[in-house]
Structure formats: C-alpha cells, structure tokens
Amino acid sequence: MARPPAPCYLRKPMESWTPIPKAAIYPGFALSLFLGLAGPALAQSADDASYVASAPASDSGLRDLCTDRPPKANLPCTVDAGHFQYESDVFNWTRAVSGGATTDTFLYSNPTLKAGVTSTLDLEANMAPFERVVTRSASGRQTFAGVGDLYLRSKLNLAGPDGGDAQAAVIPYLKAPTGSPGISNRAVEGGVIAPFSFALPQGFTLLFDPEIDVLRNANDFRRHANIQFLGNLSHALTDSVTGYVELWGQANADPASPSKQASLDLSLAWLAWKKSPSLQFDVGANIGLTSATPRLQLYLGVSQKF
C-alpha cells in the first residue's frame, strides 16, 4: 500500500505503477510470513495492558498519528494497540502513455483499514471500492470499471516502536484477486517490504523502503521477480505540515515485457489537530522519469486514528 496500493505503486496500497495495482510473492510464502509474524504477538498475555488489543492504549498515551501516506513509502510505525486507523485516497488520477495509447486510471477512494494488535504489530486490509481505467488509442476507446483487488498485510515493528533516531519494520502482504475484469490480473500474489528510517540533523528524516515481489507473468501462469526501492526525505515545515521528497524505482523481470520505472514524488501532509482522534489531509504528485513509467499521478487523501 506507497500506501497500499493505488495503481502500480499499494499503498498502498499499495499500493505496485501500472493500471493494475502492485503485487508480490507466492501466496503460500506470503501467508506463512503473515501468520508467522502475527501468531506470536497474538499469543501474548492479555494481562499486559501495554501490548494487547484487548487492553488498548489510553488516549493520553497515544503516539502521534503516523501513516503510510502520502508518499509511496511505507513507514516502520504501527497503530497503537487496541486502536483503529484508516488511510485513503479521496481521489487519485494516473496518466500513462505507451505505444501510442494513453491510459487514465481513476480511484474514487482507496481505503486501507488498520487495527493495532500489540505495541509493535498491526493488521491491515486495503481494497479500492471503485476503479475506472480508460484507454484511448488510434483504434478507439476502451473502458473498464469495477472493484479493485484485496490486499492483506501485517506490519511488525523491529526497532523504535515509539519513535526515536532509528526505526525498522517488516511488512509481508498477500493480494487476493477480487478485482473486476480489466482491473485485476486475476492472480494471487504477495510481497515483503522492509522499511527503515533514520533521524538526520535539522529535523529531517531519511527512509529507505526495499521491496521484493514475485508476480505472475503476463503471458502464462509462471512467476517472475519484481524489485522496488525508494529513498524518502521528509521534514516538518510547520507544527502541522510535513513535506516529502521521494525517488522511487522498480525493475520488473516479466519475460514478455521486462521494464524499469522511476519517479520523482512530491507530497504534503497536513495534521488537522494532534489530540486523539487525529486527522490528517494530504496532497501529492508523482512524476514519471522513464518512458515506461506513468507520466503523472495526482492525488488527495485523508487519514484518521480512533
């Protein structure tokens, strides 16, 4: 899900930067990782009020709102135990040009729902309720519309759950092919992301977000590797506004059409207030840097923790 997954990056989605959302590894491997990370945390004693969802963190002890949007980057932070959070595009538009055809992809909301299970683990689900893909070429116009794929993720914080100079996490995820024809490639896929961040002087934060995916081939049912990497630099411009600059790249080894993509991403997040429940609005633009990358993506979003 840069945030689970809008077209080809999930955010989330999720986002995975083509009209089909990003995807990832063999389902059995992704599912075993998902259960393997979630299982031990869920088994912790319910008597420990600071760790389990059955004894949620008090409002006075809540962490600051931390989201996997607006940039493509996934942050190492998790939702407080026993609390819930949504992060969503309000509107998302992507334009791609390839082989004389222009494709516009529209997302009319794209919610990611998160539930804090322990102080270091949350569970997440993302699905766009309505997507519209319009392709124009010399042969005419073609339109697909419908629901998107379902993405299930778990995020386990490995370092710095309450912030600090360094944070790290691992995020296995699984994609279920719930999407409509023309929206989804109808394949079960999954992936693993490993974000880590460092505090820099003067209030800057540097984050790296490597990801490895295994996707279904375009022309058969075999699988191929897909690798993504990004560097993200953020800074608080005011007490309530944070700015992000990001370089993102992807190498897709599909035998039928291998490709390399890259983009420059610029975004702003505005925190409406700091007391619980927290509310954040955001806006951003992703600019394609290679011919295989969508030329432009614009979006508005909102996030809130309860």
Q: What does DSSP assign to residue 31?
A: H
Quick: pLDDT tens for 152-184.
999 999 999 988 899 999 999 999 999 999 899
For residue 277, what pLDDT is reported?
Answer: 63
| SS3 state of residue 38 | helix
Percent of the chain predicted with pLDDT > 90: 72
For residue 18, what pLDDT is reported?
Answer: 37
Quick: pLDDT tens for 241-255.
999 999 999 999 999
The CA distance from 88 to 77, in Å, is 17
For residue 60, what pLDDT is reported?
Answer: 63
Of residues 111 and 272, which shows the higher confidence score?
111
Q: What does DSSP assign to residue 65?
A: P
For residue 258, what pLDDT is reported?
Answer: 94
The CA distance from 105 to 298, in Å, is 11
pLDDT band at 239 (very low <50, low <70, confident <90, very high): confident
pLDDT band at 54 (very low <50, low <70, confident <90, very high): low
Q: What is the mean pLDDT of residues 83-100?
A: 96
Percent of the chain predicted with pLDDT > 70: 79
Global confidence as pTM: 0.83
The CA distance from 14 to 108, in Å, is 15
Exposure of 111 in the CB half-sphere (CA atoms within 13 A):
8
Second CATH level (architecture) for the domain 27-305:
Beta Barrel (2.40)
Structure tokens that stand for 10 in this block? 């999930």
Q: What is the mean pLDDT of residues 219-241?
A: 95
DSSP string, 157-196: EEE-TT--SEEEEEEEEEEE--PPBTTB----EEEEE--E
Q: Mean pLDDT highest for which of 8-12, 85-89, 158-162?
A: 85-89
Mean pLDDT of the chain: 85
Q: What is the mean pLDDT of residues 74-82?
A: 96
Quick: pLDDT tens for 265-285.
999 999 886 555 689 999 999
Tokens 């009020």 map to which residue?
49
Given a cut of 50, whether residue 13 has pLDDT beyond it is no
Given a cut of 60, whether residue 10 has pLDDT beyond it is no
Sign of CA dihedral 232, 299, 303, 78: negative
Q: What is the mean pLDDT of residues 227-236?
A: 97
Of residues 11 and 219, which shows the higher confidence score?
219
Where in the chain are the domains?
27-305
- Burial class for 28, CB neighbours closer than 10 Å (0-12, 13-18, 19+): exposed
